[in-house]
Amino acid sequence: MKYEKLAKDILELVGGKENINSVFHCVTRLRFKLKDENIAKTEEIKNLDGVVTVMKSGGQYQVVIGNHVPDVYAAVLEVGGLSGVSESASNDDGKKVGLGAKFIDMISGVFTPILGVLAATGMLKGFAALILALHWVEATSGTYNLLNIAGDGLFTFLPIFLGYTAMKKFGGTPFIGMAIAAALVHPGLAALSAGKPLYTLFKGSLFQSDIHITFLGIPVVLMSYASSVIPIVLAAFFAVKVEKGFKKVVPDVVKAFLVPFLTIMVMVPLTFLAIGPVATWAGSLLGAATIWIYQLSPIVAGLILGGFWQVFVMFGLHWGLVPIAMNNITSLHYDPVLATVTFVSFAQTGAVLGVMLKTKNKKLKSLSIPAFISGIFGVTEPAIYGITLPLKKPFIMSCIAGGIGGGLIGAFGSKLWMFGGMGIFAIPSFIKPGSGLDMAFWGAMIAIVVSFVLGFVFTYLFGFKDPASKEETKVAVKKAVGPVAVVSPIKGEIVPLSEVKDQVFSTEAMGKGVAINPSEGKVFSPVNGEVTLLFKTKHAIGLTSEDGAQILIHVGMDTVELDGKHFTAHVNQGDVVKAGDLLVEFDVEAIKAAGYQVITPIVVTNTPDYQEIKVLQAGQVDKNEKLLALV
């Protein structure tokens, strides 16, 4: 099994099978629900070969893998002896989860399992619309109609699929959810609503409804539930409670068939009488409300959503818009909300191209190529976590470009007419059925080009801090004044180690060196080399120079007690740095106000490897000035 070792390592580092409540996956991530996230060794997981990064959001512990996540997921299930997708919303560990986290977890659990096939069938429907718009086929042709039916089938009977996933998410029997949903889309309902109504309810109001049938004398509001989202999700939520209630009272010997019988008998009428109509009306109001907000200023909406969309995705907040978009397509037959963010991936892809062409770091250039290819198809996690976010500026540039692209889509009034794929596969989703390639469609195409070009141009022009390769660092070392020269990492006043009020440093137990009383809160690299130690509290950092000198910089006395407060790290353990690179920032005044000294020892921890450690400065010293000579 190709990913067996990776799966074993991930399982071990998240705390083992016993620490896992559930696990499933999306396009690029393993999504764990852990009993205790504190047990998981996040930094070690991040350093695994095959893991891009780790995110914590919406009550989920997300291990970002990349395009091959389905294979890794299968390996995790097999190696761990796990029973498959389990998205139970229960918190067996007893931890309190906020309402927002619960909502995100619920939405992702219900919709994630079908997103792949939903995108695939949307692409089919979009392809059918494209070949019709290009006049390659006639609307009456069998080719067009079969492709359209293949794409439309899942969406028409979407409640049945959601009945399964929602019941499973809420902890019930999935096939009961499917049975309730099947009743909602039964073809016989059309005949029941034909002919003259018995009477009309809520006449003259927004909720006016013709009544054709009654159930035990109670009027039934018949409406179409094909492609609907909210009614079946709510029905499944209540069905789980009804099912659990019957399980408590029905004898075990008849439980297998009597519990489903009673649950369906209660829930189908209840859904038709109350849950379905109320949920449908609520969905219509939600759709109207989102359109009203969007229409206040489509351009501003596009700018905001497009600009922040990648941030939403990183923290899982985008799930809040998924049911709104699906509801809009159901009730309005289009959605303008997700339309504004559909092509943000091209801004990210353009930024990656800018990095690829500008960087001189061979490793970064090689990583950019697959990230660029994935981005074209809408999968941007490798680009975000592997390229642009670590470099900071390219990520910001891609957000700006994405916002401009979203604003353009809002300006052209471009809309999604169906759920489709991502990246270039989403293009047919902007074709309005029966209207061909109108200006709204071409506006979306313009937004693609603009997002991509601006992402590239902004990144290339404004640049980024190109990480040094080991080869470049070695060249820089050879050009240095001396093979064992150490420059000052801090601007301030020189203080002998003997005057430091900490015996570990003043007695040179940690090694020889010098201390500096900082005049500004910045620590720069004193050597060309590698960050070999970075305390999680960020108050101390260790480096190993290319010629083997081991340098420890300890900001302040007892500042470990601040637990990282007032400190900001700009590097990670394992990073290759050049002399003068910014390592850490700290708030001098805030640390002093908290009652701590900021005097900073700089010591050579492998002092026995040298005959002499010479201090080259006295009084005031500036950053990057020669500080120590290691003989």
> Which residue's entry shows tokens 């009203």?
292
CA distance 288 to 561: 53
Question: For residue 262, what are its two tokens?
Answer: 């009673």
How far is residue 261's CA from residue 276's CA, in Å, rounded to a whole number?
A: 20
C-alpha span between 277 and 263 (Å, rounded): 20
Phi then psi for residue 334, to 5 deg, are -160, 165
Contact between 37 and 97 under an 8 Å Cβ cutoff? The reply is no
Q: Assess whether 26 carries a catalytic annotation.
A: yes
CB 344 within 8 A of CB 306: yes
Nearest to 180 by CA among 74, 270, 81, 57: 270
Instruction: Give the span between the Cα atoms of 631 and 624, in whole angstroms.
Output: 19
Q: Which residue has the tokens 């007032």?
A: 566
- What DSSP letter does each residue of 568-586 carry, written as one string? EESS-TT-EE-TT-EEEEE
Amino acid present at 346:
F
Active-site position among 7, 26, 267, 613: 26
Q: Which residues pair with 620 in a beta bridge?
A: 493
Task: Record the tokens describing residue 111, joined without a space.
Answer: 């919709």
What's the one-letter identity of residue 486?
V
How is the chain split among helix, strand and coil, in percent rounded to 5?
55, 15, 30
Contact assessment for residue 329 and residue 419, using Cβ atoms and an 8 Å cutoff = yes
Which of 47, 45, 49, 44 shows the shortest CA–CA distance to 32? 45
Beta strands in 216-307 (DSSP E): 218-221
Q: How many Å is the Cα radius of gyration of the chain?
A: 30
What is the phi/psi pair of residue 613, to 5°? -115, 105
Alpha-carbon gap, residue 447 to 300, rounded angstroms: 15
Distance CA 631, CA 382 (A): 45
Q: What's the N-to-C CA distance of the chain in angstroms?
A: 53
Phi, psi of 302 (to 5 degrees): -65, -40
Active site residues: 26
